[in-house]
């Protein structure tokens, strides 16, 4: 182990904080780095919270000013360099004694030597898993961040960051780890709600045999499978009286064992004996729903196609224009997944929802938050059935507090918006104020993992991805301009050729 310093006596020293002076000849330490000490109780692991540089010759402002006024410099008179030193503040995290972790109840003694944390000891202390998902390397340590799959996903996970901080890149690494996982270790099914086509690269090259993509041509809802409650979920404007009549008609059609689409259901309503003041608005609402083009006689995809062990299924919503259409699709798929898993008809799954603030918004009216209810239901109850949820968002303040608070693990990349930061602190129990303070200073590709996935928070540098980037993203602005110019030029040349 590398010795880096010595614990010093300070008035602020306690069981929750201590300071040590660094021996710069033996090595430096960085803010956020883990260190260890051998105490009477066992091995104490601590995280460096701050580092200060000080020099006794520069402590008195008036003395420094007077020397500068005389035209002389302090180093001309005194051995300034010999009296410059670094002091680090550290937060004790826990004690390891005979393989058992305990909380710190007594401060370390002044004079104790401080060492860089041993990799094996640190891995055990943090709760890393040799067979876990390797998503990067712990900052300042030559230690891969291998996270246990169950601890990361079973109680749900949130991935939050501002635009361009690397959320989708990180999610791609997580998906790669699941797809590359050995069969004997357990490979859950993975479903990704992809509003912008950011994960379509999985359909090419390395992961093409493990990936299925469902676009607007392969996303249909069988009307005859829907109850009146579900239809009203898609169309919240239907009144209770209209809902009762709709339920009666649907029940009659099901008794006749008729396979129908939404157009045929509308016809059944029109020829029914419902009162005109109920029939007219009900037909209007159903026609409005039918205009989306999402309904048919057969559901696409069916659950057997969508959910398979070790398969990635991408719900590509990038060609849908209206948010309501996207929410209807997400509502239907999420509910089918949850109900099928609850009845053990499909394998355990992980549902990744990109732009989750669009599908589970915090402050929108019911008709603008169609999918919010089922997402919150999975967040509350999914862990009991191994139906896991991953909420991905760049606007945490717009994301449902109920859903976000149920995510026991948070992976946080760079966030600078103070309102988003405040919302995260209030919604996520596992996040402390010292972690929150680090968020604006993170670089692209750096992330903080905190919560149920680990015993203690860590900062990681996300590893390089293996999958291909989506063809729908990644083009630089300059390249896009040049491509557009060339395409326009080619069109003009083609027109001239035919004129």
Predicted confidence (pLDDT) per residue in 100-131, tens digit: 899 998 889 999 999 999 999 999 999 999 99
Give the per-residue pLDDT at 331: 96
pLDDT band at 479 (very low <50, low <70, confident <90, very high): confident
Mean per-residue pLDDT, 340-361: 96
What pLDDT shows up at residue 60? 65
pLDDT of residue 32: 87
Tokens of 366: 């019911």
pLDDT at 191: 98
The structural architecture, per CATH, of the domain 145-216+300-462 is 3-Layer(aba) Sandwich (3.40)
**pLDDT tens digits for range 382-418:** 999 999 999 999 999 999 999 999 999 999 999 999 8
pLDDT at 57 over 70: no
From residue 230, how far is each of 156, 256, 488 by CA, in Å? 25, 20, 46
pLDDT value of residue 310: 94
Does the pLDDT value for residue 76 go beyond 60? no
pLDDT at position 201 is 92
What pLDDT is attached to residue 286?
Answer: 95
What pLDDT is recorded for position 249?
A: 94
Cβ(294)–Cβ(325) below 8 Å: yes
CA dihedral (202, 186, 343, 350) positive or negative: negative
Per residue in 193-240, pLDDT tens? 999 999 999 998 899 999 999 999 999 999 999 999 999 999 999 999
> Over the stretch 287-314, which tens digit does the pLDDT of each residue have?
999 999 999 999 999 999 999 999 999 9
Q: pTM of the full predicted structure?
A: 0.88
User: Does residue 190 have a pLDDT over 90?
Assistant: yes
Averaged pLDDT score across all residues of the chain: 90
pLDDT of residue 306: 96
Domain ranges of the chain: 3-126, 145-216+300-462, 222-295
Backbone angles phi, psi at 308, to 5 degrees: -135, 145
Task: Band the pLDDT of 135: cuts 50, 70, 90.
Answer: very high
CB 144 within 8 Å of CB 133: no
Whether 484 shows a pLDDT value over 90: the answer reads: no
478 pLDDT exceeds 90? no
Percent of the chain with pLDDT over 90: 67
pLDDT greater than 90 at residue 70: no
The pLDDT of residue 266 is above 70: yes
- State how beta strands 221-222 and 295-296 pair: parallel
Q: What is residue 74's predicted lDDT score, i.e. its pLDDT?
A: 59
pLDDT bin (cut points 50, 70, 90) of residue 67 is low
Mean pLDDT of 167-184: 95
Alpha-carbon distance of 31 to 51, in angstroms, equals 7
């Amino acid at each position: 182990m590398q010795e880096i310093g010595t614990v010093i006596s300070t008035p602020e020293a306690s069981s929750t904080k201590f300071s040590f002076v660094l021996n710069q000849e033996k090595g430096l330490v960085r803010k956020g780095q883990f260190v260890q000490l051998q105490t009477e109780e066992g091995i104490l692991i601590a995280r460096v919270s701050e580092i200060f540089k000080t020099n006794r010759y520069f402590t008195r402002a008036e003395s420094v000013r007077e020397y500068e006024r005389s035209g002389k410099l302090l180093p001309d008179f005194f051995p300034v360099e010999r009296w410059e030193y670094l002091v680090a503040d550290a937060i004790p995290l826990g004690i390891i004694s005979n393989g058992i972790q305990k909380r710190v109840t007594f401060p370390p003694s002044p004079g104790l030597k401080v060492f860089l944390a041993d990799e094996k000891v640190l891995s055990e202390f943090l709760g890393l898993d040799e067979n876990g998902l390797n998503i990067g390397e712990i900052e300042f340590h030559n230690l891969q961040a291998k996270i246990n799959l169950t601890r990361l996903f079973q109680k749900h996970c949130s991935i939050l960051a501002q635009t361009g901080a690397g959320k989708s890149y990180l999610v791609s690494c997580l998906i790669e780890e699941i797809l590359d996982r050995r069969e004997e270790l357990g490979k859950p099914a993975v479903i990704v709600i992809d509003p912008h086509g950011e994960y379509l690269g999985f359909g090419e090259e390395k992961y093409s045999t493990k990936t299925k993509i469902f676009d607007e041509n392969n996303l249909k809802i069988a009307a005859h499978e829907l109850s009146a409650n579900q239809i009203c979920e898609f169309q919240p404007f239907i009144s209770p009286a209209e809902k009762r009549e709709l339920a009666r008609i649907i029940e009659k059609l099901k008794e006749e064992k008729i396979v129908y689409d939404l157009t045929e259901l509308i016809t059944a309503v029109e020829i029914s004996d419902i009162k005109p003041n109920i029939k007219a608005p009900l037909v209007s609402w159903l026609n409005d729903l039918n205009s989306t083009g999402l309904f048919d006689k057969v559901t696409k995809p069916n659950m057997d196609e969508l959910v398979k062990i070790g398969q990635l299924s991408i719900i590509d919503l990038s060609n849908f224009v209206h948010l309501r259409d996207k929410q209807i699709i997400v509502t239907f798929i999420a509910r089918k997944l949850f109900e099928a898993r609850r009845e053990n008809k499909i394998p355990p799954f992980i549902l990744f929802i990109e732009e989750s603030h669009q599908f589970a918004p915090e402050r929108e009216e019911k008709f603008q938050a169609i999918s919010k209810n089922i997402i919150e239901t999975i967040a509350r109850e999914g862990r009991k059935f191994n139906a896991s949820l991953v909420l991905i968002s760049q606007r945490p303040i717009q994301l449902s507090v109920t859903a976000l608070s149920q995510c026991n693990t948070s992976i946080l990349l760079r966030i600078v918006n103070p309102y988003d930061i405040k919302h995260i602190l209030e919604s996520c129990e596992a996040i402390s104020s010292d972690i929150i303070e680090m968020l604006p200073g993170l670089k692209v590709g750096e992330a903080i993992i905190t919560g149920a996935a680990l015993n203690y928070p860590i900062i990681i540098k996300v590893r390089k991805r293996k999958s291909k980037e989506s063809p729908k993203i990644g083009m630089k602005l300059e390249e896009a301009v040049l491509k557009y110019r060339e395409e326009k030029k080619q069109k003009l040349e083609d027109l001239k050729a035919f004129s």
